[in-house]
Structure 1
Amino acid sequence: YSETLLSWLDHENAAVAWGGHLASITSLEEDNFINGIQGFENPSWIGAERAGSGTYFWTDNSSFDYTNWDDNEPDASGLCVLRDQDIGWLDFNCNFVAYGVYKQPYDEPTKMPSKLPSDAPAKSPSKNPSKHPSFALTSLYFGDSECTLNPTPMTWDQHESSAIEWGGHLASVTSVEENNWIASLLQSDEVWLGAEKGGGSGVFRWLDLSNWDYDDYTSGEPDGDGGCLVKESAGTWADAPCTNLYYGIYKQPYHEPTKLPSDSPSDVPTTIPSMNPSRQPAFTLTSVYFGASEYTLNPTPLTMVQHQAAAIAWGGTMISVTSAEEDAFIATLTNSDNVWLGAEKGGGSGGF
């Protein structure tokens, strides 16, 4: 259970790095079990999202047979599912920051034979993607995306874990131009793409939540022989068993660093931090205290999303203001400057 306030996608990435996914909930017993983990006042993301067809699925591909929706839910106000212990499940804006419940299969460690062949590894490889070795890959650019081709034959899950370590996902392909560009990088090689079938529905969806508006299937595909999407040597797409070993094409948004005005104070960073929290540069800010809380003021002009990412990298979140005294304290720090607070409109209700 993660008490870090993150968006649904950031929690899912963290869960995959941990070795699992945001939690699927497949029975009343499991739902009640999670009650013992999640506090009553802590709405938390779980591992369900809505596919383009309007159906919901679990990111770990569990069957979506059990639900615990609140009254009048889902109401199409968001693509991701938030679990509120008081009222049940809600579909919600995926960018809302909340806690997260993670889940992975538990495999009891198996002892290796006392005598190993001389060419056998002394230890089994770690199943935790966060322990994969770092790797150096060449960045390529298409439109507003940064891509890289990993020519190591691996399973779909292994490539997705490496893509998250790199800062993105296996690539979504949303236009014929992008599809042709990826084909130009390959030499009749098969490469994993960033789509999988969700929730037993048989419907593919992009991991980065891109709209499924374009496809390029081989004739007769998908034919149901696998849960993951591969770009075949002929250049068209097919479903394939996720354990097959292919190359991987990775993708993440590209944000060119933006310089601040040349007359910025000398103690202000000269570039805007990356929006990817895993790539946030370390920054030094002065801590101040009010009551039982630690605060810091970041004087860099950023969007709210960028400040929220920086706040999470610092170890907190954008601030809540819960009293007139706290509001007055914050006013003493800001010197008549506009400053973001940690509230946003959620769930399509228009309320903060």
Structure 2
Amino acid sequence: MAQAARLDIMSIAALVAFALTLGARTTFCEGISCGPGWEAFSSSCYKKMVDPNGWLGARFHCVLEGGDLVSFNSSAEEDFVKGKMGARSFWIGLSNLECNHKLCPQVSGKELKWSDNTLLNHSNWATVKVASTNLESCAYVLPNAHKDYHPGKWRKVSCESSLAYMCKRSPDGCQEGQPCNKTAGLALTPVQTSACDPGDFLRGHFCYRFENTKKTWQGAEDDCVLWGGHLASVHSREDGDWLIAHMEDNFHVGLKKNIKMFEWRDKTAMDPALWYPGYPSSDDCGRVSRTGQVYNHQCNSLIVFTCQKGVDVTHRHHQAHLVCAHLRSFSHPCSPAHSTSAAPRLE
């Protein structure tokens, strides 16, 4: 993996290790049930975190709260968590990072595992098998997927996407050797590790925002420009399938006729192989079908839309240095690698 993709992993690992070391010298949780903000189910306590974060930042926050990102041992537990999280996509504790009860120091290159070391005896993937990968990959639940694309199933995406999450811990107190944030007296706070704006997904070199407001093609493009990007481009069936899975209906994409030729907003030409059978027609604007293919329609159609914009690598690098500055304020060494390379394409 490129150095830029290792920045947050190294820095967050150091910060979690420091939090746990410091916590060993402070006051730990003693004999609590669940406590304010936590809710009991079966043999564990759960806390919903509504402010989105990257997977590593989310796990670090859960560690500070005395637990870990949520893991599932049964369908009943998964249904309980989904009921609490509602319609928002959210992280779960599965990743291909090599995690122990303190750190996630490196990509394992193996299939995804629970960060709290729970055995993977229950699964609910949107596909039959999730392939191994040597790229950073983390799992999330997509409640509002298109009905043809398995809503409520698990999927994987770049760990630097920005999603809500839920923490889980023992009802008898904090996990062994781990401090509770509000009782340990730590001067540490959650760290933001996402490369995208809150609630947005990172895929490849782009952040994606799925908008449910219905607008004309031009109205949708204007909104995307205000956000800092453009309507999304589709350069493969895989792109189309991934996009349509996150929307409940057909939607505007960044394809529009330029004189006699169709062109994406990123100035690339339309691949003829991506047209839905029987298209293009005489209309000027593009949308994605339920098959992940593209067809054209009237530009004044009022439908939902998807925006994309490039990843701000400088911002990602700056976040890693903020983590290190926080550590150095406690006289803890930290020297992140220097890199401005773009993120690799992920799942």
Higher helix share: 2
Greater CA radius of gyration, 1 or 2? Answer: 1
Please, what TM-score do these two structures have when normalized by structure 1?
Answer: 0.33
Please, what TM-score do these two structures have when normalized by structure 2?
Answer: 0.33
Structure scoring higher RCO (CA < 8 A, sep ≥ 6) equals 2
